Structure 1
Amino acid sequence: MKKSVHVVLPLALMGIIVLLFFLLYPPIAKSGRGNDNVVVSWPSYNSDLQPDPSLTRGALDNGLRYVIKQNSEPEQRVAAYLVVLAGSMHESENQQGVAHFLEHMMFNGSTHYPPGTLIDYFQSIGMDFGGDTNAYTGFDQTVYHVILPSGDEKELEIGCNVLADFARGALLLDSEIDRERGVIFSEKRDRDSAEYRNYVSYSDFAFKGTRYPLRWPIGKEEVLNKADHKLMKSFYDSWYRPDKMVVVLVGDLDISIAQQVIEEKFGHLRAGSVPQLEPDFGKIDRRGLDVFYNYDPELGTTNVSIETIWDVLPEVPTKALKKKELIQIIGDLIVGYRLEKKRENESPPFAIAHYSSGIIEKRIGYGSLSATTDGSSWKETLASLHSVLERARLYGFTESEVKRAKNEISGELKENVQTKSSRHSRSIAESIVDDLTVDDVYLSPDQEQKLYAPMLAEITADNVNASFRTIWNHSGRLVAVTGNTRLSGNAKDEILTFYKKEEKATVTNGTSVQDIIFPYLKAYDGPTAVVERRQFPELQMTRYTLANGLVINCKKTSFEDNKVHVSANFGRGELEESKAGMALVADDVINLSGTSSLSPSALDTVLAGSSVDLSFHIGEQASSLSGTMLSGDFEFGVQLLQALLLDPGCKEYAYKAVMQRFELMYTKLQGDMDGAILMQVQPFLAGNSRYYGLPGWDEIRQLSFGDVKSWVERVFTLKDLEISVVGDFDETVVISILSKYFGGQHFEAAPVRGRNDAPTFPVGQILKVAVSSEIEKSTVLIAWPTDDFWDIGRTRRLSIVASILEDQIRKTIREKMGASYSPKVLSYVSRVSPHFGYILAELNVEKGKETEIIDEVKKLVRDLRTKGLTQEELERAKKPLLTSVLENVKTNEYWLYSVLSLSVSYPEQLIWPTSIVDDISGVQLQELTSYITQYLDNTESAVAIITSGKS
């Protein structure tokens, strides 16, 4: 059981963790030696925990370790990872940024793959660069992965050959370093934002005294400018050592063959220099109460937090430690419950609040309560957070709250066990990698349940209260106010004075328990005959139409054991929107309202311990309630579906919370390049149709609660209902249960879903948007008009065209020019507007070079039209797509959302799966060339340029 499943990191810490990955700690005591006199270590050596017995672990004579696990989901594919236990923390003062730069260079020339050939080779065997092949650099680790299209010996040799080249075969040519330097600066520019700068400032303050804020992976500009072969080789030889590497292979493979391949490809590797000492992490330079304040109007919102941070020493993973962590998780969950109830009962001054506690990479302990608010409500927010914290610290948690949290954890453990055979190889590999990088012991779902179930039975409220108080009894406390709150004079003194005043305020215990009855709607006990049972043998699915008009689509699969996916569709979704933005607001209001009879917190209490997870969404063509559950929870899931559909909630406190969040979001988007895309570029590409892009805040703020409530009532009249069920179930039972809970209603035929009017594409037009910011950068977007979704052959081929253009742009704009870090090209085809679609290229570029890049992209398009494609280019575009398709058609999500849902309105969806593989495989060079000629016409294109910087 991973803590990350249950809690959300505090906003101040979350950004650092998400953006910059993870801090690790120096290795614990080790045992075992290979023939090269290299220490061999596994976390379980010093632990009373034993790893998942299905893992095959080993070590080569050079000290390189490996983990292999056979797993057949998805069939044939293998997730192959190389973990290097070194990152930016290991850089010397004059190497800052080299670890990350080095990660990039692995794809730019190695022993077996000359510069410019590796990505082409990946594509030729069906692997997608970025999705199937990628890497990241953290503070204490660098991780590479390749997702192989097959687990046979040849493919394993290919994958391990690539990873072995990363390990010790990088060429690091100065010519390639110079070329990649522009890409590094482009990435640095892409990642630069008000949020990033705030995280840096916060970490400099909060973690002062440690190495943490001194080694940001992106590095220093002066180092990046001078980085050369010698500098990179020095880091490469010092830290890319076999004894600091782990190879992880998870997938549809033969373990003995995998071991042989690992020995063959990695056994000869040797370190390039003598071992280096692990850097000293340092200690936090803070005691007592302190304040951090950072004013930055570009953040658009204000984050207020109360945090405690302290030094800890690495601990060996043991059963006792796991119990300690489990108790802490329960406390985290309960504070989350209380924050949810606060929203329901008090209309708090903040829009979003989070609580979490734990240890950052076993070196920094923390507890954090944080919230997002507007620029004028920091005092009210700080006071509210303090009351939540002190109420928990002084009065503790109740046994009923602890029981709810224990039920939630037990339900997750049960679900993990029952679905263990359906776990994705990549997900398993990533979990193994995560545990390896923090010296934890990887446990199977069965082991986790066996370990945690007895612990849960023993844990009491007293245990949880003691744990919570221990966290908040540390002397170091940090109050932070960051964002668009502007304070005059000595801001830190003002915040400190206010907080000390709040510390003296009386806090009362407001704990109350609500009696909950569920299910509270009656089941139908009358006859509900099946008037039509239509089978689709080629799809192995059945459609039932009941006498009351209810349509049920069923497809039994073996993709996920003991799991069912459900989607109930009705109405016309955004198509029946009464005012601009109504669907956007109503969607969130409904999801935050529970049912008419039960609040969200009461509903969550009912759900604790079950596997049922349903959410509401107003889509382009219909509204839906969709989600998953274990097969054994199907009736309970349908009871919840019944309550949400027949007794929907639309609460005023939810409306207030949603409007508060939207106001903060719009404030942020006004000074944001993403906001410019959503609110200006997307409408521009659709002829300023109100149905495309994000409505303006002036339109959203005019939607009253009465407006939303009236519209929601119309949406939930439920004139039609189509329920699709995919997964592991008994079809007779499914029909019986759905008849039982929906047989009492009458449903009509599905409505017509679509618009008659098509947006007007802005042929030949240029949109220029200026965003006021301290950060200088630009985004260019070039679009070419295409057509709508419903000619599926055309839609598939347009996707291939977009893939080919993206590859051309990557090679020229990124690799040759170094002018853009991650250029993207997509094909958008509308499902609701006739003949509307476009291919869109988006590139983040250096300010001042917009015209140059636009001209270069258009030149690539002209060359594609005049010179055409080669068969090799076509195959390199098709093969990764085919690999993805072959994997996708073996998922429940594909069959539920792409095939069954809304198939009454769109019967062609039931034909598409039968042709998809043969159709893509059969795409010919001549026909694709004709698509390029027809649709990639620069004279028909439109351009948008967004520039960010000081006005």
Structure 2
Amino acid sequence: MPLLLLAFTSGPSIAQDRPAQGTLRLTDTLPMDTSVRRGKLPNGFAYFIRHNKEPKDRVVMYLATKVGSILETDSELGLAHFLEHMQFNGTKHFPKNELVDYLQRAGVRFGSDLNAYTSFDETVYQLPIPSDDPELLKNGLQVLRDWAQDALLENEEIDKERGVVLNEMLGGRGAQQRMRDQYFPMILNQSRYAQRLPIGTKEIIESFDHETLRSFHRAWYRPNLQALIVVGDIDVIAMETQIKALFADLENPDDAPAREKYSIPLNGKNQFMAVTDPEMPQTVVQVIVKHPEEEVTTVADYRMQLAKALFNQMASARFAELIRQSDPPFIQGGGSIGGFLRGLDAFTMYLSAKPGEMRRGFEAVVTEFERIRRHGFTDTELERAKNNFLTSVESAYAERDKRKSESYVESYLNHFLEGENVLSNDDQYRLGRQLLGTVTLDDVNTLGKQYYTDSNRDILIMAPEKDKDSLPDESTVNGWLASIQKTEIAPYDDNMADAQLLETLPPAGSVVSKVDRPELGVTELTLSNGVKVVLKPTDFKNDEISITAFSPGGTALYNDSDFLSAAYAATVVGGSGLGPFDATQLTKYLSGRKVSVRPYVAERSEGFSASSGRKDLQTAFELIYGYFTVPRLDMDVFQGYMQRIKASLANRLDDPNAVFSDTINAVLYNNNIRRTSMTVEQADLVDPSRAFDIFKERFADASDFTVTIVGSFTEAEIMPLLLQYLGGLPSTYRVEEAPDLGIYPPEKGMQRTVHVGKEQKSSVRLYYFGDYNYSETENMQLDALESILNIKLIERLREAESGVYGVSANASYAKYPQHKYSFSIAYGTSPDKVEPLMASAIDEINKIKQHGPQQVDIDKFVSEQKRQLEVQLRENGFWLGHLSNSYQNNEDPAYILRYLDELNKVTAENVKTVANKYLVEDRLFRFVLMPETRDVP
């Protein structure tokens, strides 16, 4: 390897094989981020604390413990995960369900904010809370302290939680898990990991002794296996003082078992397995070549990680080209180099095969990687990949003072669990920039030869059971591989176009009206061609500009015979390239640019969404202008896309969930083509020429477009681009309005049960539909009803009756084309509990209808909304959606400024009123998915 002499813009340089004053060698250990305060208490408890101001007045706390399913004995299978559940069912300072109740009253949502996970090797708990309330912050730490060692594990609560975990297990059962049970021992080389899935076994969960769980807790929940990660808008020194005071008395048991580190040994064998299942809708093939894990501890290791990232990016681009062919060899295909599981890395190839074309797809994937192994990538491919990587590095660095606290947690977790050092924002930027320049084409091409080897290789085929007799055996697949080895494969031809996206631009438009909305920080412009522009400059991000646009119209303007062509119009055009570039050439043209533009045609509108950094904002506007004026239709891309669509739909109805979904839509919307899932036969109804014409029609007139732009720009900076690219768009000043298609559910509810599926599990969907009194106040009350019912249903169906793992209530309402609402409840359970749980759910609804909700549940909703809004008001995405939706619904966007006042209108009586108005028994639709057959006792 040649001598590397790199200079940072500031800081040390990098040299490879000779010392120099102030240099950082490739052999040096990666520096650890000094912005995080680290420590370890005498009992072994570790902590990581970092001040971070985004989001303001918020902190995220994580408790990590090196305890997972891998530590379980044969009589403890599933107990690490079960113990995770029990932490929410009673701790020393928060008995029974008081923890969830307390945090909900503080605005923390169970499941989305407050959560945890268990894996093979660790269990991690997360708690994001406000940091501007000292009492709440103190109690938040107490929650983590309780999780560390003070779970109560009461008999009654353990027995209640068995049903919850069994329902979680049941929900995961299906084709994927049934096949996984067969192939896991192979791909995990018969290691301990193959027998220690975190979910455990039904037999153990149903019957383990209470004391067994307590013993597991005592043995493994101990400070020398734990760490606390705290990142947010907090005083680091004060937080460290509190942690020391609160966690210092955690004790390690005298007879604590050793925490062994398990691995997956390489066996030096090539392995093969084909598994089938009647509910598997596609044939999927994976080729996994395992290698010893390469730890990232030195600067040289980090450089090699960059090379792997470039390899994966270039390989992905190759396969993106392959699927744009008129007759692509597979539905999806590709491969990459990455981590596998404890102690192993892997080179993985995969494909989803078209029906009857597994060999063709397999050979196409393997041939492409054989091409890479023999001939490598090209200089131009590497240059584009480096440009893309550099753009991402620079973008991340530009946002370093705007990074969300959550984004730091994963790296600190990884440091605690794996020992890898965490680079600071500055080091990540400097090392990324400087090492990138030293990665050569030979470095990247060598990876193909290093990882694509013929040892420790697993070939796994997963297919529909009806194809079982036609699947190849190991010798047949080995024959395919041998044939490819003997085949002459040409080098890759990097087809690039030397052109400009736009040849000419029209004269710029002008501003004909301007309205400032200082209360919103918004400026409303009308341009000379009728385009309306809503500007909201922000400082929420340093280099993020988001754009969305809409125009009334959409697929509703077209009859049913044209519907599918209209529905796929934007997909057809968006995948065809733009102007002088086909899709592949356009991707290459945009390499190194932080920009994305996507047109859409929805039911009642058309428009586009776009994003960019400041440097590439002009390119974004060029792309927007291009979709209006120089769209393309690439017949090869269209034909290939529709082939892949039809192939993916061929066995779709083998999936019970697809049958259930189709039944619901058929009942609710009388098989209307606009509300049904596409079939193979319907795919042929998409006419590419008609789709292209419809796209051009939808974007022929810009006069009724409203464009909303939010982000890091100034009005002065963006105005020339607005006038040139938006103000120059063609306008015919047509007047359009999406018609009411009259597609609504029946006025009277009904029940429908679908019997399909091999597993003894059921899904339930309850729906209410009808006319709606659309208003700010009514919307708020219905939102409150949704939130309150979510709380009550979890308390009843999950916590009290142990009948579900998850349950959700969802309210939605529409202003156009008519004021309508829908309210749904969804959960999965065992077949024998369908009717009693449905009765319980309806009983909870009736309680609210008869007595109104409890004030404590209203308070939880109000607290949650306030806390969410505090964060949302500092996010570009929130403002983009809020402003665009307000203008599309002809509503005053300043409503958001009154939102907190509107929350005061949420009362028990008002919620009771909307419950009685909309959750009407006569409008209730009950849909139940039951298995094909029940278990016979």
TM-score normalised by the chain length of structure 1: 0.90
Q: In the alignment, which of 593, 599, 602 is matched to residue 619 of structure 1?
A: 602
Q: Determine the structure 1 residue equivalent to 2:790.
A: 806
Matches of 2:423 and 2:607 in 1, distance apart? Answer: 37
Matches of 1:156 and 1:793 in 2, distance apart? Answer: 33
Residues 19-168 of structure 1 correspond to what in structure 2 (within 5 A)? 48-168=29-149
Q: In the alignment, which of 487, 492, 495 is matched to residue 473 of structure 2?
A: 492
Matches of 1:898 and 1:694 in 2, distance apart? Answer: 30
Q: Give the CA deviation at 1:790.
A: 4.4
Q: In the alignment, which of 620, 626, 630 is matched to residue 643 of structure 1?
A: 626
Return 5+ residue gaps in structure 1 as ranges: 1-45
Query: Secondary structure of the equivalent of 2:758?
Result: coil
Structure-2 change in CA distance of 1:862 and 1:213 (3 Å): same
Task: Answer yes or no: is 1:765 the counterpart of 2:746.
Answer: no
Q: Is the 8 A contact 1:774 1:949 kept in 2?
A: yes
Q: In the alignment, which of 708, 712, 718 is matched to residue 734 of structure 1?
A: 718
Q: Determine the structure 1 residue equivalent to 2:311.
A: 331
Q: Determine the structure 2 residue equivalent to 1:888.
A: 872
Structure-2 change in CA distance of 1:850 and 1:501 (3 Å): same
Q: In the alignment, which of 227, 237, 248 is matched to residue 208 of structure 2?
A: 227
Q: Determine the structure 2 residue equivalent to 1:340.
A: 320
Q: Determine the structure 2 residue equivalent to 1:819.
A: 803
- The 10-residue stretch of structure 1 (163-172 or 349-358) with the greater mean CA deviation from structure 2: 349-358
Structure-2 change in CA distance of 1:590 and 1:655 (3 Å): same
- The 10-residue stretch of structure 1 (190-199 or 749-758) with the greater mean CA deviation from structure 2: 749-758
Q: Is the 8 A contact 1:614 1:625 kept in 2?
A: yes
- The 10-residue stretch of structure 1 (870-879 or 279-288) with the greater mean CA deviation from structure 2: 279-288
Q: Is the 8 A contact 1:754 1:831 kept in 2?
A: no
Matches of 1:238 and 1:76 in 2, distance apart? Answer: 37
Matches of 1:947 and 1:742 in 2, distance apart? Answer: 54
Q: Give the CA deviation at 1:939.
A: 3.2
Q: Determine the structure 1 residue equivalent to 2:434.
A: 454
AA matched with 2:724: K
Matches of 1:310 and 1:943 in 2, distance apart? Answer: 52
Q: Write the deviation string for residues 347-403 of structure 1: whole angstroms up to 9, x where unpaired.
A: 322111121112224511210111112331111111111211111111111111111
Matches of 1:751 and 1:432 in 2, distance apart? Answer: 54
Q: Is the 8 A contact 2:770 2:822 kept in 1?
A: yes
Q: Give the CA deviation at 1:206.
A: 1.4
Q: Is the 8 A contact 2:65 2:226 kept in 1?
A: yes
Matches of 2:28 and 2:659 in 1, distance apart? Answer: 53
Q: Is the 8 A contact 1:151 1:251 kept in 2?
A: no
Q: Is the 8 A contact 1:293 1:480 kept in 2?
A: yes
Q: Determine the structure 2 residue equivalent to 1:931.
A: 914
Identity of aligned residues (%): 23
Query: Secondary structure of the equivalent of 1:177?
Result: helix
Task: Answer yes or no: is 1:922 the counterpart of 2:902.
Answer: no
Structure-2 change in CA distance of 1:506 and 1:541 (3 Å): same
Task: Answer yes or no: is 1:752 the counterpart of 2:752.
Answer: no
Q: Is the 8 A contact 1:762 1:942 kept in 2?
A: no
AA matched with 1:122: L
Q: Give the CA deviation at 1:52.
A: 2.3
Matches of 2:34 and 2:701 in 1, distance apart? Answer: 51
Q: Write the deviation string for residues 704-727 of structure 1: whole angstroms up to 9, x where unpaired.
A: 333433333333324433221101
- The 10-residue stretch of structure 1 (875-884 or 617-626) with the greater mean CA deviation from structure 2: 617-626
Structure-2 change in CA distance of 1:744 and 1:246 (3 Å): same
Residues 578-597 of structure 1 correspond to what in structure 2 (within 5 A)? 578=559, 579-597=562-580
Q: Is the 8 A contact 1:536 1:542 kept in 2?
A: yes
Matches of 2:821 and 2:436 in 1, distance apart? Answer: 54
Q: Determine the structure 1 residue equivalent to 2:9.
A: none
Task: Answer yes or no: is 1:541 the counterpart of 2:522.
Answer: yes
Q: Is the 8 A contact 2:334 2:365 kept in 1?
A: no
Q: Is the 8 A contact 1:328 1:468 kept in 2?
A: no
Q: Is the 8 A contact 1:310 1:474 kept in 2?
A: no
Q: Give the CA deviation at 1:640.
A: 2.4
Q: Is the 8 A contact 1:788 1:833 kept in 2?
A: no
Matches of 1:412 and 1:741 in 2, distance apart? Answer: 26
Matches of 1:582 and 1:141 in 2, distance apart? Answer: 50
Q: Determine the structure 2 residue equivalent to 1:25.
A: none
Q: Determine the structure 2 residue equivalent to 1:724.
A: 708
Task: Answer yes or no: is 1:532 the counterpart of 2:513.
Answer: yes
Residues 506-517 of structure 1 correspond to what in structure 2 (within 5 A)? 506-517=487-498
Q: In the alignment, which of 859, 863, 869 is matched to residue 875 of structure 1?
A: 859
TM-score normalised by the chain length of structure 2: 0.92
Task: Answer yes or no: is 1:653 the counterpart of 2:636.
Answer: yes
Structure-2 change in CA distance of 1:590 and 1:56 (3 Å): farther
AA matched with 2:745: T
Q: Give the CA deviation at 1:690.
A: 4.3
Q: Give the CA deviation at 1:894.
A: 1.4
Matches of 1:770 and 1:169 in 2, distance apart? Answer: 45
Task: Answer yes or no: is 1:694 the counterpart of 2:694.
Answer: no
Q: Is the 8 A contact 1:571 1:718 kept in 2?
A: no
Query: Secondary structure of the equivalent of 1:111?
Result: coil
AA matched with 2:129: L
Q: Is the 8 A contact 1:83 1:433 kept in 2?
A: yes
Q: Is the 8 A contact 2:68 2:118 kept in 1?
A: yes
- The 10-residue stretch of structure 1 (723-732 or 568-577) with the greater mean CA deviation from structure 2: 568-577
Query: Secondary structure of the equivalent of 1:209?
Result: coil
Q: Write the deviation string for residues 205-260 of structure 1: whole angstroms up to 9, x where unpaired.
A: 11223222121000112211122331112221222111111111111111122112
Query: Secondary structure of the equivalent of 2:295?
Result: coil
Structure-2 change in CA distance of 1:652 and 1:480 (3 Å): farther
Residues 312-327 of structure 1 correspond to what in structure 2 (within 5 A)? 312=293, 315=295, 317-327=297-307
Q: Determine the structure 1 residue equivalent to 2:538.
A: 557
Q: Give the CA deviation at 1:667.
A: 4.1
Q: Is the 8 A contact 1:777 1:949 kept in 2?
A: no
Q: Write the deviation string for residues 32-84 of structure 1: whole angstroms up to 9, x where unpaired.
A: xxxxxxxxxxxxxx972222232121222221111112122221111111111
Q: Is the 8 A contact 1:724 1:901 kept in 2?
A: no
Matches of 1:172 and 1:767 in 2, distance apart? Answer: 41
Q: In the alignment, which of 448, 455, 458 is matched to residue 475 of structure 1?
A: 455
Q: Determine the structure 1 residue equivalent to 2:14.
A: none
Query: Secondary structure of the equivalent of 1:623?
Result: strand
Q: Is the 8 A contact 2:815 2:889 kept in 1?
A: no
AA matched with 1:134: N
Structure-2 change in CA distance of 1:59 and 1:668 (3 Å): farther
Structure-2 change in CA distance of 1:699 and 1:832 (3 Å): farther
Task: Answer yes or no: is 1:176 the counterpart of 2:160.
Answer: no
Structure-2 change in CA distance of 1:704 and 1:621 (3 Å): closer
Task: Answer yes or no: is 1:847 the counterpart of 2:831.
Answer: yes
Q: Is the 8 A contact 2:772 2:819 kept in 1?
A: yes
Q: Is the 8 A contact 1:390 1:507 kept in 2?
A: no
Q: Determine the structure 1 residue equivalent to 2:364.
A: 384
Q: Is the 8 A contact 1:181 1:818 kept in 2?
A: yes
Structure-2 change in CA distance of 1:549 and 1:282 (3 Å): closer
Q: Write the deviation string for residues 515-554 of structure 1: whole angstroms up to 9, x where unpaired.
A: 3345431453635221101111221101111112222110
AA matched with 2:532: V
Aligned residues: 903
Q: Is the 8 A contact 1:565 1:727 kept in 2?
A: yes
Q: Is the 8 A contact 2:549 2:884 kept in 1?
A: no
Q: Determine the structure 2 residue equivalent to 1:17.
A: none
AA matched with 1:851: E
Matches of 2:563 and 2:157 in 1, distance apart? Answer: 51
Structure-2 change in CA distance of 1:900 and 1:749 (3 Å): farther
Matches of 1:571 and 1:784 in 2, distance apart? Answer: 28
Matches of 2:873 and 2:553 in 1, distance apart? Answer: 27
Task: Answer yes or no: is 1:680 the counterpart of 2:660.
Answer: no
Query: Secondary structure of the equivalent of 1:298?
Result: coil
Residues 183-582 of structure 1 correspond to what in structure 2 (within 5 A)? 183-279=164-260, 281-284=262-265, 286-312=267-293, 315=295, 317-345=297-325, 347-361=327-341, 363-473=343-453, 475-484=455-464, 486-488=467-469, 491-493=472-474, 495-517=476-498, 519-522=500-503, 524=505, 526-578=507-559, 579-582=562-565
- The 10-residue stretch of structure 1 (637-646 or 369-378) with the greater mean CA deviation from structure 2: 637-646
AA matched with 2:782: L
Q: Is the 8 A contact 2:70 2:192 kept in 1?
A: yes
